[in-house]
Every structure is written in structure tokens, then in C-alpha cells.
A and B are shown apart, each in its own frame.
Chain A
């Protein structure tokens, strides 16, 4: 069964304290791994897509990396506005169709 596990469930950082969020997955034939950001009361906002091991993508203070079994979202010198829940999803084939399987998310809080 295709599974996505995110850790930790919650993370508190001080402003400027860099850290990483983890997304581990088991899927038969990875077609893509996605990171989303979700603010309270809003829909998920697309951040990155990674397709193959070794691939990296960056956006401002965020950098996503991918290995054969997991992805990391590195946050460098975070600011309070980076506080949000970060969702990871993998593109998998289920029931003959390609779908996204989501993890439960990591809630990040950055204190000033």
C-alpha cells in the first residue's frame, strides 16, 4: 500500500533557527513528490515538485531535496511568516489511475 509519513508532526523554531522537515514514502514507482504549504483556514498552496533522486529545488528560505525513500524540506533562517502546515504528497498509481497520496503534514511554528 502506498504510504506517506511526515515527521515531526509539529515543530517549533525560533526565528533564524534552521531545521528540516521529513517526508518518507513507500510507493511502487514514484512519478513525483510534491510539497504544499497550508495556512489556517486556507487551501494548500503548491511549493515544489521533485521527480528523481538527487533533485533539489529552492524558493526563498525553502529547499526541497529527494532521495529514493524520502524527501526533506530544509528551512534556512526561518521567519514568523513561514509558520504554516507543510504537506507532502506522492504521485502514485491507484486503481489504474494516477493520484496524489498525502501525508498528514508538519505544523511549523516560528517564534519571533
Chain B
């Protein structure tokens, strides 16, 4: 039982490049979330999903897209990366809308 896993752990992009972050959970959770964590800002919700095939915007959705084609996976995409998207990205999942379990994070640097 791995819990929540994230791929990759680190990534460096140039401005304008695109990439996809993968989150996988093996707890059969309905809800999944993507957060970003910046110094002095705390965790901020980017997008979330309440079930397979559904997505919704969080607090800071601009510049990101998501997809939930399978219940266990939640993808976060950056179509044209900007330096302001340099951050640590965390995925989380929950069986109900509480007790979220987090992955280990992806550290993204955009040059």
C-alpha cells in the first residue's frame, strides 16, 4: 500500500515549455487534489476532483489544467510554464472531504 505517489520528484523547465505531473493513489479514494506550496504562502488549492471524470477549479487555477480519466490517477498539466509557477506541488486524496493524505511532492523550477 503505497498511499499517494507523485511523479516526477524534481523537474526543471524553461519558460514556455509544457509538462504533466502525475499523481496516483491506491486507497480507492473518490476525492483528489492538487496544491502548490510557496514560502510564506501556505498550501493553496489549484484544482480538485470529486470523482472519476470530474474536475473543478480551486483557489489558484490559472495556467494549469487537470484530468481524472481513471479514479486512481490525477494529472496536472502546465501548457506554457512561467517562472511564477516555480513551486512545490503536492497531490492529496481523501475518501471524504476531510482527512486528506498527501504525496511526497514535486519540486518544479521554471527558468
Contacts and interface: CB of A to CB of B under 8 A. Distances in A.
Do most interface residues of chain B lie in helix, strand or loop, or is the interface mixed?
Answer: strand
A102 B43 contact: yes
Contacts of A91: 97-98
B98 A44 contact: no
Interface size class of A (residues with CB under 8 A): 20 to 34
B90 to A, nearest CB: 5
Contacts of B42: 87, 102-105
Closest 5 CB pairs of A and B: A43-B102, A98-B97, A104-B42, A102-B43, A44-B102
Interface in A97-111: 97-100, 102-105
A44 B97 contact: no
A99 B57 CA distance: 11
B12 interface: no
Nearest to B96: A98
Contact of B99 (A41, A43, A49, A97): A49
